Structure 1
């Protein structure tokens, strides 16, 4: 087990303490002092040195010394301590100071911020290096848990306290819980591999669905009961009354028909039919023959016009392509002309070369053989480039000629296609002109029936007959209206009887549906009861798990006990984490002495679990007459009114005396 002991702790200008050295020598101490003499400041200085926080885990707190309520400037604020870690000594020192800078041209210094310097065994370190060295000794959170009896219960969130306790005791397996209670064995089969949380979600969702359905079923049954007519109802008698009304309605409708279709109307309608037949026959006689020829000629004309459009479209397409190819030929010819000019110009170029006969470095004349060699080399390069350029121009010319030939061949082909289309186009235009002339001649011979005198006389007779029929019917409408009202009343009476018959005919179906709903209600109620039992088993499972967890955790402590779940009004369980001592919760009602000893008990267990012993600072230690045993170094901070300055006693020496 790693053991950390405080050998000495020195404060200089820290939180009102001008200078004080606590000489612990790794032993248990009692530090006495009146209120505001600096007891708690010792612990804050120690935690600030290690972690930049005070004893209450606050990072933002006042370090500077105050004088008349104002900060004193230009002084260093320093904490230094000596530790032994597994009998290996080390010294830690941290200095917090103001930065004053004298700008160029100014005699006065200006405050420009603060800086913190870090030292390990007298060697200055960067902040990151210093923190890494502290981490090798102990993690910050573990150190706080092991050095303050109040930290676990008062500064750690209950969710994190719960995690710490579970990490100490270990998780409880489902198998362990099932073995603890025979009644839960059935639950293991019901779960079918599901997690307890998922199973409860499924059950609760199904319970809600069933509950909603059970709320709706009585409403549906009530609606069905309301729709069932009272009494059994005499359906045969009702049907007999309907048949009687059918006969009466039919008789009344016959009377109306007789009125509307009286003899006078029938006579006029007969005359009208004869006139309309004569009109139809006359029109057919006048228009027959010539009309058929008109239709034939129009169809033939449309066919020839369509064929002409097809030939014309093909010709326009060929002419468009022809124009494009001719433009391409012009483009290629222009390019070939430019190539010929380039070839002529390049072939006429002659070699010219000026050779420097003097050395550019020393100014002496160069030997004749060197001059001639340079000239020959330049001539060879000129001839090679000229030959290459002329060859490239010739190749471009060949490609251009081939491209021109391709377009010329295409022009010839398209011209033949255009010439071939001209003959059928001319033939179609001639045929269309001839058909148009024939159609005009035939249409002029068709006789318009509306211009025939006999046709006009028959139409006038038809109009007179229609007016006469309408006048006769208007007179009959008034008489038929009264009978129509009576028919409407009897139809309404018949509809009521049919509706009543339908209600009685549907009674059996309604009663069957009502029974189905009642059966469904019983089944859902039984399923709901079964789900309630499943939830009860899961609650029992959770309670068993709670009991085992709390037993395992509490077994790790001598005095402290822990409540990890709280029973709700509805019977459910809610996760909590409350420290309890002799039945009294830490957060309500537990006195300071018990709180301190419970905190020490927790530190003892955590120290054993992490394998680390660290100095414990017990603030307000005057509240305890006897602290429980602990193997770690103990520094008790005791309020003592007579001690206006801090006074230190060695606990072992005190006990020896």
Structure 2
């Protein structure tokens, strides 16, 4: 290898034998520059991958010395008794402008030759790539580059994985039969993809399980205790018969019929009086029958909370009368687009300056192109009447914020319909259950009432005409009461239908809860299997990579407390971390690393060993050409033995 005007070296020739050579010189004499020059020759970069670093000689002020042309030439043995000669030369480009005497610097130009044949940069790079693995050249040339000059552990790890980590997912499945179920679960996904799927599913299922109990409880709270639908249907059928009978009676009452009815009513009352003593005994036994079934279930739950607060105050007073007729037609289309933009901004123009055929004059560029086409059609009709009144002032501020949020939901639905009509007149002014002697008094009152009715019937019999009218009136009252009861039963049936829908919804939600819990367990199982598989994979991968090395061992993964793993890249020799090895052990370990990469790449590059004087006992591989760089204080750059 020969260097000319390369950085601090004016000219130097290195001609090692097959085993290598020892280059000596004081610190700063240019020993490390030899390796940099060889790398630049091959790929035009330094060991950090930079292309634009300076290789020109510098003067005492650190400025580039003009007129130099750094050149590196090397003859390389490529096997089968063949050699290739590579040459890279960079020189300054100067040119003269027309009319000037002085040349002007225009940049640098690089020239390439292969076996003395000039080639382009592309052809040169292609030839180098055929001969050498360009990405590995800094590693293969510099013994310390992998361990000490890479950017970080990630780059070292990447190199190991790319070169030695040829371990497939199928290899792990073959080695661990316990993952056969996981293989089926994966489908077309990778382990990482499936783990992300399981993680996303687990979050989704946990989120769903967090809200499902509340949704189930919310639906359960809406359920009401109601009688069976069959009993209501039966009661309503009987009621319908009574209604039909009452209607028939109302339509067919005459004075004669009225008398018959009154006679029958008298018989009924007398019969009722006859059985009253028996009823008195029965009432004494039943004593209020659980306060009339808890005061008819608290007056049918305060008349279904006063008909759901009068159907939410008539649906917020019919949506505040349809948003006050779309806020008075968006305030009459924003005051008729502000009087059609002040009558189109009080138009004007009316252009002439004569002609109409042909009173002469005109041009002056046809009267300034008819006042620039009447000011571009009055600025496009005043920007289409200011974009239709900025969409009628954004529909008058969105119908004045939906009429102040429907007047605060019509004052919170008229204070929840006056607190559900004062809790339905405090449950229709409840009456506490009477004690036993009160029941007797009640029966006495009933007897008195029956006797009063009987007297009225007797009195009515004296005037059957009036009795007929009164009977019709009484029957109509009964009919209205029956019709109200029929409506009440219809509402109860509607509530039963609603109850059934709620019960089905609760059952569906409970089923969804069970299915979601099962799915959560499956996703957690899948995630656990992925983690186990990953751990098995990294152990196999680490073992696989370490088979390429004899003394050096790499640790590529570190378990975490949360069950995960962290990617690392730590080398050790006999259990001692690289960072704590002595200088000789570090150099020996680095030799082994370079040797492993060289063998895998199927190539042996010259290996530069810097600071070689610091290590005396070093086992060198037979197949590698070693360039020892040894510090000899006070000596210029030279080759030992020459």
CA distance in 1, matches of 2:187, 2:536: 20
Deviation of 1:550 (Å) = 1.4
The reply to whether residue 560 of structure 1 matches residue 552 of structure 2 is yes
Aligned to 1:299: none
- Specify which of 158, 172, 177 is matched with residue 177 of structure 1: 172
CA distance in 2, matches of 1:209, 1:536: 17
**Partner SS, residue 76 of structure 1:** coil
Aligned to 1:94: 88
Deviation of 1:643 (Å) = 3.9
Deviation of 1:234 (Å) = 6.6
Deviation of 1:615 (Å) = 0.6
The reply to whether residue 648 of structure 1 matches residue 642 of structure 2 is no
Deviation of 1:552 (Å) = 1.3
The 3 A distance-change label for structure 1 pair 494 and 542 is: same
The 3 A distance-change label for structure 1 pair 600 and 507 is: same
Aligned to 1:609: 600
- Specify which of 523, 528, 532 is matched with residue 536 of structure 1: 528
Q: Deviations over 1:254-294 (max 9, x none)?
A: xxxxxxxxxxxxxxxxxxxxxxxxxxxxxxxxxxxxxxxxx
Deviation of 1:511 (Å) = 10
Q: TM-score, normalised by structure 2?
A: 0.52
The 3 A distance-change label for structure 1 pair 584 and 60 is: farther
Q: Deviations over 1:67-95 (max 9, x none)?
A: 22133222332222232222323433333
Aligned 1:576-595 pairs, distance under 5 A: 576-583=568-575, 593-595=584-586
Q: Deviations over 1:591-637 (max 9, x none)?
A: 65444333322221222222111111123334544334322101122
Aligned to 1:78: 71
The 3 A distance-change label for structure 1 pair 115 and 201 is: closer
The reply to whether residue 239 of structure 1 matches residue 302 of structure 2 is no
The reply to whether residue 209 of structure 1 matches residue 266 of structure 2 is no
Deviation of 1:184 (Å) = 3.0
Aligned 1:404-553 pairs, distance under 5 A: 492-494=425-427, 524-525=516-517, 527-553=519-545
Is contact 1:43-1:54 (8 Å) kept?
no
Is contact 1:94-1:116 (8 Å) kept?
yes
Aligned 1:236-385 pairs, distance under 5 A: 236-239=293-296, 242=299
Deviation of 1:62 (Å) = 1.8
The 3 A distance-change label for structure 1 pair 613 and 77 is: same
Aligned to 2:128: 134
**Partner SS, residue 127 of structure 2:** helix
Q: Deviations over 1:432-456 (max 9, x none)?
A: xxxxxxxxxxxxxxxxxxxxxxxxx
**Partner SS, residue 598 of structure 1:** helix
The 3 A distance-change label for structure 1 pair 628 and 526 is: farther
**Partner SS, residue 14 of structure 2:** strand
Is contact 1:97-1:114 (8 Å) kept?
yes
**Partner SS, residue 638 of structure 1:** strand
**Partner SS, residue 548 of structure 1:** helix
Is contact 2:133-2:601 (8 Å) kept?
no
CA distance in 2, matches of 1:145, 1:496: 98
Q: Deviations over 1:214-268 (max 9, x none)?
A: 3224544676798899xxx97723228859x99xxxxxxxxxxxxxxxxxxxxxx
CA distance in 2, matches of 1:602, 1:20: 30
**Partner SS, residue 26 of structure 1:** coil
Q: TM-score, normalised by structure 1?
A: 0.51
The 3 A distance-change label for structure 1 pair 13 and 171 is: closer
CA distance in 2, matches of 1:112, 1:175: 58
RMSD: 4.5
CA distance in 2, matches of 1:27, 1:634: 6
The 3 A distance-change label for structure 1 pair 65 and 221 is: same
Which of the two has higher C-alpha Rg?
Answer: 1
Is contact 1:32-1:643 (8 Å) kept?
no
The 3 A distance-change label for structure 1 pair 227 and 106 is: closer
CA distance in 2, matches of 1:234, 1:574: 73
Q: Mark the runs of 5 or more structure 1 residues left unpaired by the alignment.
A: 1-8, 247-484
